[in-house]
């Protein structure tokens, strides 16, 4: 095909016009001296011109033939490269997914079909998404699976002219098989070691009050069921303490354990109890660590997390977070006075060695929070160390009690803002955090980060985020309240007469609040703590007055109850589209439990700032509301929980809550 390009022709023709014009001028000038000479010169110029034109035409034809030959060779090389490419290739329209052309190697991937014209690529390779090409990427973001073979796909887009001058996009893709590499990679990760610690978390209680034969039979049955559970993995399983086991296995088996929700927990729990208490198991798993030492540390942290959440559950920790399985059964009290005495001595020493003591609770503090703060203040006063309670501005459930405390001489200057506390803090300052263990829930995270010496006293089940590296951590999820824990510490540090009457009433009010007037989550230790506070001068009549409500609050509470609806048979859910007091909502949730046939209650309402939806949840014990609200970022314990969802649309949050409840029962 001849090339007809005027620009190319001009480039190939030498510019001789100027030279010929000069020769003609010289010939004309010669005519002044000799006409014959001028004629001869003109003839020579004409001959030269004709010769140059002929030779130039020949050279141009040869050059064009050379260019055409190179172009043809390039086309042949391109076609040959595409047809005989060592990589499978396919060209298609990315907008319609229609295949235009494919080479022989790609045809071999499709069961030897002769051609793929007018075939949809997505029909040939299900799940293959071509959006990455339209987004300008040159590599498919994920592996592509075709008939059990895996590929990395590279590609590019070009524009093509079609009929009626319509511009279309063509995608050229190259398929690099990585099946063997992917299998080696999967085998590498599947064979990574995982370390697990198995703990019989109520060993003493399960073995108590039984004869030796019954204890031996129970231990034998536990070992039998654990061995049957670990046997398919071929892992290392040994007992290294009377109630602890070490289990090392490959990560390929962990997914099966997670899918079955660590069903060995139920297998151990179902063993017939020789005594009054059935055996329960907690499992801590560590994965994704560079070495066995780090894996064991992860497993230790996981078992500690499981115990802090009540035991009878499994916790898996990787390098980023925790995953929880189980933990729905009622928590059994597993505390000893030995631990309380040790914690009391440790806290007393920490306070005595401090320059200042700051006491801080959670945001929007309640009576349990302010009561625990007052108890810590009594300890600091006994040790002669200045103490301050971090206050929160605005109205909150603890405001009335805080006002009563501030009227006592010992508390005239006891309340301090977080900003002033940060200014006063020094390296010897002790910050005591009560009634929460999560850093995002404290009144001031800045103050928490500012203080290097921190003590935590809390009864809520530990969540994935918690205050770590505390100098003292008195965390007992089996206790009714933070006030109960503080009272246990008080009994070992001071005499009943050292406690002010108003302090004793504040602490007792915290216990009354979280136990629903001693009807929920109470144990023998709860009543012992209340008796100590009564000896310290607490007036139960004055405490009862703290829980009185005005008429408007009562009407609002019953309006919430009136709008409740039942879900899953015995769960009451009520959502209001206007702001109500948090105390009112919590009381409405409590009141719903007094209705026959209701085991758990959830109350939702928008916060006053219009940025979030508040959820208050209560349970009689069969439904673990803390596990439900954890899915929405909340926390608490099995009987009392709450959440603050960053979405002001109550109906949208209600749907999230209903899905969380559905998941709770589906996983049961």
Q: What is the pLDDT of residues 349-394, one digit of tens each?
A: 999 999 999 999 998 899 999 999 999 999 999 999 999 999 987 7
Tell me what the mean pLDDT of segment 523-541 comes to. Answer: 91
Gyration radius of the chain over CA positions? 41
Q: Say whether pLDDT at 14 is over 80.
A: no
* Residue 516 backbone class (left: φ over 0; alpha: ψ -120 to 50; beta: rest): left
Looking at domain 89-185, what is its CATH homologous superfamily? PAS domain (3.30.450.20)
Q: Band of the pLDDT at 409, cuts 50, 70, 90?
A: very high
Highest mean pLDDT among 164-168, 227-231, 547-551, 554-558: 227-231
Q: What pLDDT, in 10s, does the model give residues 538-583?
A: 998 889 888 887 788 888 888 999 989 999 889 999 999 888 888 8
pLDDT digit string (tens) for 598-643? 999 999 999 888 888 999 999 987 888 988 998 898 888 778 888 8
507 pLDDT band, cuts 50/70/90, is very high
What CA dihedral angle connects 17, 20, 25 and 28, to 10 degrees?
Answer: -130
Amino acid 529: pLDDT: 92
Per CATH, the architecture of 201-326 is what? Answer: 2-Layer Sandwich (3.30)
Lowest pLDDT segment from 75-84, 127-136, 210-219: 75-84
Residue 509 or 203, more confident: 509
Q: How far apart are CA 330 and CA 50, in angstroms?
A: 112
Least confident of 433-437, 502-506, 546-550, 593-597: 546-550
What's domain 551-666's architecture?
Answer: Roll (3.10)
Give the residue, 193 or 331, on which the prediction is more confident: 193
Mean pLDDT of 238-252: 93
Strands (E), 414-479: 415-416, 430-434, 453-458, 472-475
Least confident of 235-239, 288-292, 460-464: 460-464
* 273-290 pLDDT tens trace: 766 678 889 999 999 998
Locate 275 and state its tokens: 């005594």
Task: Decide if 358 contacts 425 (C-beta within 8 A).
Answer: yes
For the domain spanning 337-545, the CATH number is 3.90.1640.10
For residue 133, what are its two tokens? Answer: 């090409």
Instruction: Of 665, 551, 550, 559, give the one whose Cα is nearest residue 605.
Output: 559
Instruction: Check: pTM over 0.95? Answer yes or no.
Output: no
Paired tokens of 99: 């295949």
* 655 pLDDT more than 50: yes
Write down the pLDDT at residue 293: 94
Mean pLDDT of 408-420: 92
For the ranges 103-112, 195-204, 531-540, 597-606, which has the lowest average pLDDT?
A: 103-112
Q: How far apart are CA 591 and CA 593, in angstroms?
A: 5
pLDDT at 256: 92
Mean pLDDT of the chain: 84
Domain spans in the chain, listed from the N-terminal domain onward: 6-81, 89-185, 201-326, 337-545, 551-666
DSSP for 55-117 reads HHHHHHHHHHHHHHHHHHHHHHHHHHHHHS-SS-EEEE-TTT-BEEEE-HHHHHHTTT-S--T
Residue 434 has pLDDT above 60, yes or no: yes
């Amino acid at each position: 095909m001849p090339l007809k390009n005027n620009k190319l022709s001009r480039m190939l023709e030498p510019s001789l016009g100027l030279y010929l014009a000069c020769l003609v001028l010289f010939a004309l000038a010669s005519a002044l001296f000799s006409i014959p000479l001028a004629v001869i010169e003109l003839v020579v110029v004409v001959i030269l011109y004709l010769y140059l034109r002929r030779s130039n035409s020949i050279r141009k034809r040869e050059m064009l033939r050379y260019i055409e030959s190179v172009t043809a060779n390039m086309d042949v090389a391109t076609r040959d490269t595409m047809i005989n490419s060592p990589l499978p290739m396919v060209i298609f329209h990315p907008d319609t997914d229609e295949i235009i052309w494919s080479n022989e190697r790609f045809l071999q991937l499709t069961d030897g079909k002769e051609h793929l014209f007018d075939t949809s690529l997505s029909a040939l390779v299900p799940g293959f998404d071509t959006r990455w090409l339209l987004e300008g990427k040159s590599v498919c973001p994920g592996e592509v699976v075709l008939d059990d073979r895996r590929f990395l796909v590279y590609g590019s887009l070009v524009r093509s002219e079609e009929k009626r001058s319509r511009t279309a996009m063509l995608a050229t893709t190259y398929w690099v098989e990585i099946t063997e590499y992917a299998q080696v990679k999967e085998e590498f990760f599947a064979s990574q070691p995982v370390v697990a610690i198995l703990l019989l978390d109520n060993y003493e209680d399960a073995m108590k009050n039984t004869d030796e034969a019954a204890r031996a039979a129970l231990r034998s049955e536990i070992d039998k069921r654990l061995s049957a559970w670990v046997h398919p993995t071929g892992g290392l399983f040994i007992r290294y303490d009377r109630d602890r086991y070490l289990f090392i296995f490959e990560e390929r088996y962990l997914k099966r354990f997670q899918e079955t929700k660590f069903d060995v927990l139920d297998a151990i729990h179902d063993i017939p109890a020789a005594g009054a208490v059935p055996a329960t198991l907690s499992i801590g798993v560590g994965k994704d660590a560079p070495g066995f030492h780090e894996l064991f540390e992860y497993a230790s942290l996981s078992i500690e997390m499981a115990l802090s959440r009540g035991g009878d559950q499994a916790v898996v920790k990787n390098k980023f977070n925790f995953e929880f399985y189980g933990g729905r059964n009622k928590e059994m009290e597993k505390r000893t006075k030995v631990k309380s005495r040790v914690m009391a001595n440790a806290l007393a020493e920490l306070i005595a060695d401090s320059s200042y003591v700051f006491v801080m609770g959670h945001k929007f503090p309640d009576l349990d929070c302010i009561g625990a703060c007052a108890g810590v203040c009594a300890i600091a006063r006994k040790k002669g160390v200045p103490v301050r309670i971090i206050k929160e501005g605005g109205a909150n459930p603890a405001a009335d009690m805080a006002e009563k405390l501030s009227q006592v001489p010992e508390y005239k200057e006891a309340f301090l803002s977080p900003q002033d506390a940060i200014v006063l803090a020094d390296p010897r300052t002790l910050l005591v955090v009560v009634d929460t263990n999560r850093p995002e829930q404290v009144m001031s995270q800045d103050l928490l980060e500012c203080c290097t010496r921190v003590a935590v006293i809390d009864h809520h089940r530990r969540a994935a985020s918690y205050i770590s590296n505390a100098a003292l951590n008195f965390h007992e999820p089996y206790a009714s309240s933070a006030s109960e824990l503080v009272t246990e510490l008080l009994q070992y540090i001071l005499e009943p007469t050292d406690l002010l009457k108003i302090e004793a009433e504040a602490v007792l009010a915290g216990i009354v609040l979280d136990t629903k007037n001693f009807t929920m989550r109470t144990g023998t230790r709860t009543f012992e703590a209340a008796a100590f506070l009564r000896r310290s001068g607490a007036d139960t009549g004055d405490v009862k007055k703290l829980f009185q409500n005005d008429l408007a609050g009562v009407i609002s509470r019953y309006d919430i109850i009136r709008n409740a609806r039942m879900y899953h048979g015995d769960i009451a859910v009520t959502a209001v589209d206007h702001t109500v007091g948090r105390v009112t909502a919590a009381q409405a949730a409590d009141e719903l439990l007094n209705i026959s046939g209701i085991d758990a209650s959830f109350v939702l309402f928008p916060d006053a700032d219009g940025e979030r939806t508040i959820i208050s949840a209560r349970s009689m014990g069969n439904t673990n509301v803390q596990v439900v609200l954890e899915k929405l970022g909340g926390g608490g314990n099995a009987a009392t929980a709450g959440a603050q969802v960053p979405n002001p649309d109550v109906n949208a949050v209600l749907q999230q809550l209903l899905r969380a409840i559905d998941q709770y029962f589906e996983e049961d």
